[in-house]
Homo-oligomer: A and B are copies of this chain.
């Protein structure tokens, strides 16, 4: 048997779950997943599906039970779940439920680089985002209401409810930040504006310990470095918005 590694691929796990209802060929698995609305929480791409299914077979989590063909269409392989596959599925779901996994949402990444945007412009961008979020929240609420009306058990709606809770939390956070930007209670707004408008990092912040620690990282062992970065003939280019960040260490 091929060397087996832990399966954490969501599409792979979904394939195993669908096969618990009986053998199927890959395209049919995808069709069932989409029909059940699982494509909202699991990325389903045909390009990946066949590779994922082959990997599951190689790892012994599924096995081919035959190939059928209708006319001259591409033939299709029907797969069944193995006992190992069922165990792996259950073990992985347990693990994914009980242990948070470190992820890097793209909005969080963008927020960490948001200093490159003028604060007044940021307010407008957040307003746009909030509009879209509110539409998504309304749409998802509609989905939940419709499901309830059709007696779909909440067991099959947990991921939708969770997603809804997270969207609501993000909308709330965005509203709070917008409020602070609008009424001027967001601290250091003057410095942020000035930084964009003059292109120079404010002097009164340059002597804080984190700003100096920042500089220290830039200036490493001199014997090994090119001239210090940022030292160009253009005044003010150094310490542009987008850098001079905090040096606070965080636990991962």
**Does any Cβ of B come within 8 Å of A100's Cβ?**
yes
The complex places the Cα of A68 from the Cα of B42 at a distance, in Å, of 46
Contact of A247 among B36, B158, B231 (CB under 8 A): B36
Contact of A226 among B78, B169, B231 (CB under 8 A): B78
Report the contact-size class of chain A (Cβ under 8 Å from the partner).
35 or more
Contact of A252 among B39, B94, B191, B208 (CB under 8 A): B39
Closest to A39 in B: B252
In the complex, per-residue mask of A86-123: 1 if CB is within 8 Å of any chain B CB, else 0: 00011001101111110111111111111111000110
- When distances are taken between beta carbons in the complex, the residues of chain B under 8 Å from A40 are 250, 252
The complex places the Cα of A159 from the Cα of B165 at a distance, in Å, of 19
Assess A152 versus B210: contact at CB under 8 Å? Given A100-B136, A104-B41: yes
Contact of A156 among B105, B163, B245 (CB under 8 A): B245
Q: Are B98 and A129 interface neighbours, CB within 8 A?
A: yes
**Does any Cβ of B come within 8 Å of A3's Cβ?**
no
Name 25 A/B residue pairs within 8 A (Cβ), A-sorted.
Answer: A10-B110, A14-B112, A21-B229, A21-B243, A22-B232, A22-B238, A24-B218, A32-B243, A35-B214, A35-B217, A41-B111, A73-B224, A94-B125, A96-B110, A99-B128, A100-B136, A107-B162, A143-B250, A146-B248, A153-B187, A153-B205, A156-B246, A165-B172, A166-B169, A166-B173
- A residues contacting B by CB (< 8 A) are 8, 10, 13-14, 17-18, 20-25, 28, 31-32, 35-43, 66, 68, 70, 73, 78, 89-90, 93-94, 96-101, 103-117, 121-122, 124-126, 128-129, 132-133, 136, 139-140, 143, 146-147, 150-163, 165-166, 168-170, 172-173, 177, 186-188, 191-192, 205, 208-210, 213-214, 217-218, 220, 223-226, 228-232, 237-252
